[in-house]
């Protein structure tokens, strides 16, 4: 039987387990990346392992999420990451050099290799045929130390593209179309391979837009073949030697095949507050727009911004719209500037923001009250923009420009002639904002500088066989990590300060949760389907751990979050009968007995002491996961092994 692209890479990196769907496999990781919002914690965890140097082929620490530095906290964290990176063999991408996924694609990603990153959009690397996964910081720390990365062997999906995109229809619309088809949980447990004749019409940045947003499907990752288009891109980045051809075998077997005819697609938009809430742009014609943002790791490539500049050239944005553009990297910004395109953007009245995540994670540029914001980003979760009552719509750069000019949601085809942008034969290469690690001798003498904002990791103890808990909170379906642990300019500087962060846990849903959980001392959260979707932030597990959350019982979970819960020794359990969810309420007193036997059997009994009823809960833990849970989390487990 032939192999898919992902299966080929997995086969080459398999450390243990067998490539049997649904079973645990351990992979060798070639490269890692971190960003600052998850990086501080990841490096603190790496340091506790006591290793001198990373064991990966390439590890890069990016500063891109929180670059505002309003106060010492961030500046200290940046300095900590820079010094810890230099000492331990990690490359450091300075603030201003760009968004981790964009820069990694440009300068470091390699087809056929494996990458894990402490950011859920790490699958962007699939755009050049790299098998890339988003993971919690602790998993990245372990991989930096040479340890394996554990995943459940995924199902294989294939999306076959035929035809060719029409003018003003873009890779972003392809991402939105697949979200429309599959929903935010339709990719759970699967790797999505993109293929078919249609991919020959898509450049690497366009492919990367698609693999980037595969995260919103809940997919384990997404990947394109590595072909002549990949080779041209790597050549233009001055690193053709990193190219290898890679495609699936003709007789590869897929669990599901989805066909999309690119020629039939129209401009699409995801409405508030979920990326799968997709309709055609034309159906929202006339909706007044207050704000337009272009950028984020989804749509901030040179190709995207050259198109935006060409459409803005000679035009003025509407007086009623405020427009921002955040280039994905220093390379993008300096090429925009050299080509004169930057001047066209500025002349239109749009504002240029830093090469960073910026408004995507609520770091400034929040919309006005009840504002309508059109964004080329990948997430429009409630409150993420920093304005709780704003409506965020996800669109392509072309649709964003049309709204900025006309002041209302407008089919971009009304802009006239579509820009035709060719990928450059050669990108401008300047890696001066990437600081190399010190040599091993030099590293010995280096001091790692820590600021007072770095607070200790929440402590854990070995798990007990019986747990008595109160339901601290009951939530519905598709709860995101932005609900559990919000980000944004006011909170992000405290990512290395779990006690402070804990005040904001679930604040979008229930402002009293944090206080209640602390007073309960030992609590459980009841969730619906796809609990924990979105970001890879392990803070969405570490903060509940600090607040005394012992278990989460949900109808189903998102992949990265479940791994983070186990790493933090919070037990993720699912209802055997989804309807039992209806019978458990906030404030109920519950007991989970005989846990250790239950873990082995894959079934735990939940007693609701308030109603006297009993329920069966499922768990499908591997031996390794059981040991981690019992030990009190992955750090405690790793220390036991020393
Ligand atoms: C996001 O897009 O939500 C983030 C911010 O990039 C997160 C990481 C984080 O929370 O630090 C992600 O996607 O993993
Ligand atoms: Fe940054 Fe937004 Fe991409 Fe997350 S989704 S990495 S916040 S640009």
Per DSSP, the residues of 146-177 read T--EEEEPPEEEEEEEES-PPTT--HHHHHHH
| Ligand 2 center–CA 35 separation, angstroms | 10
Indicate which atom in ligand 1 lies nearest the CA of residue 487.
10
Q: Is 362 left (phi over 0), alpha (psi -120 to 50) or beta?
A: left
| Ligand 2 center–CA 421 separation, angstroms | 25
Ligand 2 pocket, mutate which of 299, 378, 488 (most atoms under 8 A from CB): 378
Q: Which ligand is nearest to the CA of 62?
A: 2
Indicate which atom in ligand 2 lies nearest the CA of residue 119.
6
Buried b (16+ CB within 10 A) or exposed e, 565-592: bbbbbbbbbbbeeeebbeebebebebeb
In this structure, which residue's CA is closest to atom 7 in ligand 1? 535
Q: How far apart are CA 357 and CA 509, in angstroms?
A: 24
Q: How far apart are CA 460 and CA 566, in angstroms?
A: 12
Indicate which atom in ligand 1 lies nearest the CA of residue 537.
10
pLDDT of residue 190: 98
Strand partners, 114: 131
Q: Which ligand is nearest to the CA of 102?
A: 2
Using CB atoms within 10 A of its CB, is residue 74 exposed (0-12), middle (13-18) or buried (19+)? buried
Ligand 2 pocket, mutate which of 214, 377, 394, 533 (most atoms under 8 A from CB): 377
pLDDT of residue 88: 98
In angstroms, what CA-CA distances link 515 with 169, 342, 520? 48, 49, 9
Q: Which ligand is nearest to the CA of 38?
A: 1
In this structure, which residue's CA is closest to atom 1 in ligand 2? 357
| Ligand 2 center–CA 607 separation, angstroms | 41
pLDDT of residue 422: 84
| Ligand 2 center–CA 295 separation, angstroms | 9
| Ligand 1 center–CA 228 separation, angstroms | 32
Q: How far apart are CA 540 and CA 115, in angstroms?
A: 22
Handedness of CA 487, 492, 494, 496 (dihedral sign): positive
In angstroms, what CA-CA distances link 551 with 73, 466, 485, 594, 595? 31, 12, 16, 14, 11
Task: Convert the pLDDT of each residue in 367-399 to its tens digit.
Answer: 999 999 999 999 999 999 999 999 999 999 999
In this structure, which residue's CA is closest to atom 3 in ligand 2? 297
Yes or no: say if 599 and 629 are a contact pair by the CB < 8 Å rule: yes
Yes or no: say if 2 and 30 are a contact pair by the CB < 8 Å rule: no
Yes or no: say if 143 and 113 are a contact pair by the CB < 8 Å rule: no
Residue 463 structure tokens:
């798990």
pLDDT of residue 457: 80
Residue 231 structure tokens:
């080779």
| Ligand 2 center–CA 359 separation, angstroms | 9
| Ligand 2 center–CA 269 separation, angstroms | 19
| Ligand 2 center–CA 641 separation, angstroms | 35
Ligand 1 pocket, mutate which of 64, 99, 117, 119 (most atoms under 8 A from CB): 119
In 509-581, which ranges are continuous DSSP H helix? 513-520, 539-546, 559-567
| Ligand 2 center–CA 382 separation, angstroms | 16
H or E stretch at 309: helix 302-312
In angstroms, what CA-CA distances link 233 with 243, 296, 473? 9, 20, 49
Q: Where are the beta strands (DSSP E) in 385-533?
A: 391-394, 434-435, 467-474, 523-526
Reduced to 3 states (helix: H, G, I; strand: E, B; else coil), residue 277 is coil
- For residue 124, give the nearest of 248, 23, 211, 9 by alpha carbon: 211
pLDDT of residue 642: 58
Reduced to 3 states (helix: H, G, I; strand: E, B; else coil), residue 67 is coil
Q: How far apart are CA 162 and CA 170, in angstroms?
A: 14
Indicate which atom in ligand 1 lies nearest the CA of residue 121.
13
Yes or no: say if 633 and 621 are a contact pair by the CB < 8 Å rule: no
Q: Which ligand is nearest to the CA of 482?
A: 1
Ligand 2 pocket, mutate which of 38, 60, 63, 65 (most atoms under 8 A from CB): 65
In angstroms, what CA-CA distances link 4 with 115, 127, 207, 249, 372? 18, 16, 18, 6, 42
Per the document, the length of the chain is 642
Buried b (16+ CB within 10 A) or exposed e, 344-363: bbeebbbebbbbbbbbbbbb
Q: Who lines ligand 2 at CB under 6 A?
A: 65, 99, 119, 121, 296-297, 357, 360-361, 377-378
Q: How far apart are CA 116 and CA 591, in angstroms?
A: 37
Biggest alpha carbon–alpha carbon distance for the chain: 72
| Ligand 2 center–CA 337 separation, angstroms | 23
In whole angstroms, what separates CA 28 from the centre of its chain?
A: 21
Query: Could you count the other beta carbons within 10 Å of the beta carbon of residue 16?
Result: 11
Spans of the chain, pLDDT less than 70: 642
Query: Could you count the other beta carbons within 10 Å of the beta carbon of residue 369?
Result: 10
């Amino acid at each position: 039987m032939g192999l898919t692209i992902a299966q080929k890479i997995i086969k080459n990196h398999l450390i243990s387990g067998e490539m049997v769907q649904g079973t645990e496999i351990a992979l060798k990781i070639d490269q890692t990346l971190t960003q600052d919002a998850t990086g501080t914690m990841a490096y603190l965890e790496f340091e506790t392992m006591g290793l001198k140097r990373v064991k990966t082929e390439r590890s890069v620490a990016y500063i891109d999420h929180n670059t505002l530095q309003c106060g010492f906290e961030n500046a200290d964290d940046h300095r900590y990451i820079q010094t810890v990176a230099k000492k331990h063999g990690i490359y450091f991408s300075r603030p201003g050099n760009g968004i981790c996924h964009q820069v990694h694609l440009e300068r470091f990603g390699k087809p056929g290799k494996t990458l894990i990153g402490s950011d859920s959009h790490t699958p962007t690397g699939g755009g050049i045929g790299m098998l890339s996964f988003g993971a919690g910081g602790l998993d990245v720390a372990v991989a930096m130390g040479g340890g394996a990365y554990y995943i459940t062997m995924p199902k294989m999906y294939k999306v076959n593209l035929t035809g060719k995109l029409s003018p003003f229809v873009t890779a972003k619309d392809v991402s939105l179309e697949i979200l429309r088809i599959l929903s935010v949980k339709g990719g759970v447990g699967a790797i999505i391979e993109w293929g078919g004749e249609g991919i020959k019409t898509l450049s690497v940045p366009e492919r990367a837009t698609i693999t980037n947003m595969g995260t919103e499907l809940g997919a384990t990752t997404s990947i394109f073949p590595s072909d002549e288009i990949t080779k041209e891109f790597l050549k233009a980045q001055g690193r053709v030697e990193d190219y290898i051809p890679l495609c699936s075998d003709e007789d590869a077997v897929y669990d599901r095949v989805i066909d999309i005819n690119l020629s039939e697609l129209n401009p699409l938009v995801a409405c508030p507050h979920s990326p799968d809430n997709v309709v055609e742009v034309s159906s929202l014609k006339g909706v007044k727009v207050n704000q337009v943002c272009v950028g984020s790791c989804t749509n901030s490539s040179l190709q995207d911004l050259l198109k935006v500049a060409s459409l803005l050239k000679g035009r003025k944005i509407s007086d009623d719209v405020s427009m921002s553009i955040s280039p994905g990297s220093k390379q993008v910004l300096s090429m925009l500037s050299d080509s004169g395109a930057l001047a066209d953007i500025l002349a239109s009245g749009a504002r240029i923001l830093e090469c960073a995540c910026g408004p995507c994670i609520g770091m400034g540029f929040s919309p006005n009250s009840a504002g309508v914001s059109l964004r080329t980003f990948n997430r429009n979760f409630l409150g993420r923009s920093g304005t709780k009552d704003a409506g965020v719509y996800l669109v392509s750069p072309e649709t964003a420009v049309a709204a900025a000019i006309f002041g209302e949601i407008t089919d971009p085809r009304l802009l006239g002639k579509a820009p035709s942008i060719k990928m450059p034969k050669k990108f401008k290469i300047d890696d001066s904002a990437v600081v190399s690690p010190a040599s091993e001798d030099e590293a010995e003498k280096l001091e790692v500088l820590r600021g007072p904002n770095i607070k200790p990791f929440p402590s854990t103890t070995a798990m007990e066989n019986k747990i008595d808990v109160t339901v601290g909170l009951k939530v519905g379906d598709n709860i995101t990590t932005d609900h559990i642990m919000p980000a944004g300019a006011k909170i992000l500087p405290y990512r290395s300060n779990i006690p402070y962060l804990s005040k904001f846990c679930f604040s979008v849903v229930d402002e009293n949760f944090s206080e209640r959980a602390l007073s309960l001392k030992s609590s459980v959260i009841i969730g619906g389907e796809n609990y924990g979707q979105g970001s890879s932030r392990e803070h969405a597990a570490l903060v509940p751990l600090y607040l005394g959350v012992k278990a989460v019982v949900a109808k189903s979970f998102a992949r990265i979050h479940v791994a983070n819960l186990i790493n933090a020794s919070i037990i993720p359990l699912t209802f055997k009968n989804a309807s039992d969810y209806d019978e458990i309420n906030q404030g109920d007193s519950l007991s989970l007995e005989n846990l250790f036997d239950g873990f082995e059997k894959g079934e735990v009994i939940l007693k609701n002491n308030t109603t006297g009823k009993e329920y069966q809960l499922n768990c499908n833990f591997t031996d390794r996961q059981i040991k981690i849970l019992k030990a009190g989390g992955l750090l405690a487990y790793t220390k036991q092994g020393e």
